[in-house]
Amino acid sequence: MDLHSLPFTIADLRRLYLDNAVSVEEVMEEALRRAARSVAHPHVWIRLLTSGEVARYVAALDPARKGELPLYGIPFAIKDNIDLAHIPTTCACPAFAYTPEKSATVVELLIAAGAIPIGKTNLDQFATGLVGVRTPYGACQSVFDARYVSGGSSSGSGVAVAAGMVAFALGTDTAGSGRVPAAFNNIVGLKPSKGIFSTTGLYPACRALDCISVFSATCADAETVMRVAARFDETDAYSRELTDLKLPEKCRVGIPCPEHLHFFGDEQAAELYAQAVARIEELGCQRVDINFEPFAKAAALLYAGPWVAERRAALGDFMTKSAAEMDPTVRGIVEKADGMTAVQAFEGAYALQALAAAAAREWKKMDVMLLPTTGTTYTIEQLRAEPVKYNTNLGYYTNFVNLLDLSAVAVPAGFRSTNGLPFGVTLMAPAFGDASLLALGDRLHRALAPKVGSPSVGIDLAKQPSPVGPIAESSASAAAGSGTISVAVVGAHLEGQPLNHQLTSKGGKLLGLTRTSPRYRLYALANTRPAKPGLRRMDDPVEPAAPGAEPGIEVEVWTLPLAAFGAFMLEVGPPLGIGSLELADGTWVKGFICEPAALDGAEDITEFGGWRNFLRAAAEAKG
């Protein structure tokens, strides 16, 4: 295999590992090669790990668990305000650096799930900015045009994913730092609900608002990381349990009235946003016009209000003693807090509460909100000339999200024809809408921008899996017991069949044998190894081939721990997928579905009533 052209996505690497097509050592060597030799992007890394340091993580992996660990052998990057044990955390300020003995909680969870850190990435100093130029380590650049900003503050993390150096990266998002780099580099950015990722081991910007975020090529990859990293942490006073808020299948999508939409002279961005709105309506969602004013006013509070004092509180004595060591723009922003009073803090809290109440009235009209991630983009030269003004423009659609306790997913949404730069949109929902947003965001991403990352990376979204979505939607999960999900299998995953180990190795337990509803036909697929069947749901019930035969197709129902379900999903390759399957008793569970194109030329074996009966008959026919 040509490792130089190997796509770095979680799903692709998982399949290659399970097929024994590559080794972890080979993938890590390639990841370090890409990171170290990136002439086009020289400012991504503040501290790249050595091959020896990476080798220690590789040595700790148990190859016997590669089917069990959802992130086995997956290279990832860490923004340098998040701790990695024994590696300095600088927050892009060398005079501030410290070396932690322990990794951040989220980093520990990812490593325990098999992921391997490659290095610490560049950022706007102390995570203050949306641009990626406020750093002594050199400004990161858009992967599409070196003259333009990469977005920040998680600049290095966004570029590391977009340039194909790692499969995913951790950023942070207080004001939009997990979304703006995604938009400027044609990748996905998950800004999770506050508290579902522990912030223990994150050096804070605004502790009450901070979120650790995820950059990835696809929404499915982001979901895999989320299912690993979202754990309640008693050491974090702001930690919250992840729950799946299921949004309606046909969402009401809030769109700001025209007078509240600002693109700062970027007409092509306005056109691309209009196309995204039209496309989400084509996907079955209902557009509703909303009053965006309370959201915009809340956004203004983040830097114009007393929340800037949280940034000052985080820096404590360091700023008192070493302000001269700070980036001048960052210092100027944070210094404003020194003149603020407790009275102003309460006034700001009251103002935010009033705006939150006004925003809640708008949420009664909609299930999700679709916004431009940013209204425009800027060159590095422009940002250095007007660092505060243009940064403020970039935060118009992002700064309010954590103040109003929302979840958000940024996805690519096409390219400007004039300069080839990417444009992005963000889907937002109330807290805990993360999984639903990833599922909807994936559909919109595929419709708007099916190529991921920089032009040289070449990840085709059509060849990548989709997210599972809210796990709570399975009606059989409760019957199977707390913390599990039921999965119906019909072919090679049946007990005794060649892929059954993919269930048993992850703690899968057989609940029992049953049948689908009568609305399914079964096909033997061509050119699959091992041989596999495909199910097709019909509009009308299918009559059994023999009088008195049971209707429906025989299936086994298994339970899997929720924590293992994402890893199981990653092992399901095309043309099969996991969707919802109706059983004979009318309940719905997760189960195997098949791409319609794969049924062309496949043999209809419905008359056998199940895969085992077909295999038995085929063996008898051979004598």
The H helix count followed by the E strand count for the chain is 19, 21
Q: Please enumerate in sequence order all residues whose Cβ is within 8 A of that of 558, keeping only pairs 6 or more positions apart, or say none.
A: 486, 487, 488, 489, 493, 503, 508, 509, 510, 511
The CA-based diameter of the chain, rounded to the nearest angstrom, is 90
**E strand or H helix that includes residue 554:** strand 554-561
What is the spatial order of strands in the sheet that 603-604 belongs to? 533-537, 520-524, 603-604
Contact 482, 43 (CB under 8 A): no
Instruction: From 390, 394, 388, 382, select the one nearest 329 (Cα to Cα).
Output: 388
Instruction: Look up residue 40 and give its two tokens.
Output: 């086009």
Which residue out of 154, 177, 474, 517 is catalytically annotated? 177
Contact 144, 422 (CB under 8 A): yes
Q: Cis (ω within 30 of 0) for the bond into 153?
A: yes
CA distance 14 to 20: 10
CA 194 remoteness from chain centre: 15
What is the spatial order of strands in the sheet that 212-216 belongs to? 45-48, 116-121, 75-79, 168-172, 212-216, 188-191, 406-415, 422-430, 368-372, 252-256, 286-290
CA distance 534 to 554: 13
Active site residue 177: yes
Quote the DSSP letter at residue 323.
Answer: G
Q: Secondary structure of the chain: what % helix, strand, coil (to 5)?
A: 35, 20, 45
Instruction: From 525, 524, 523, 521, select the one nearest 544 (Cα to Cα).
Output: 521
Which residue out of 79, 120, 191, 532 is catalytically annotated? 79
Active site residue 477: no
Which residue out of 142, 150, 153, 157 is catalytically annotated? 153
Contact 136, 92 (CB under 8 A): yes
Segments of 356-456 assigned E as strands = 368-372, 406-415, 422-430, 451-452
CA distance 427 to 190: 10
Contact 376, 390 (CB under 8 A): no
Active site residue 153: yes
Report the sign of the C-alpha dihedral through residues 170, 173, 179, 184, in that order.
negative
Burial of 459 by CB count in 10 Å (0-12 exposed, 13-18 middle, 19+ buried)?
A: buried
Q: In which residue are the tokens 């309370």 written?
A: 294
CA distance 575 to 315: 52
Question: Letter for the amino acid at 510?
Answer: L
Q: Cis (ω within 30 of 0) for the bond into 530?
A: yes
Quote the DSSP letter at residue 408.
Answer: E
Contact 498, 485 (CB under 8 A): no
Q: In which residue are the tokens 């003693």 written?
A: 321
**E strand or H helix that includes residue 230:** none
CA distance 13 to 35: 17
- Active site (catalytic) residues: 79, 153, 177
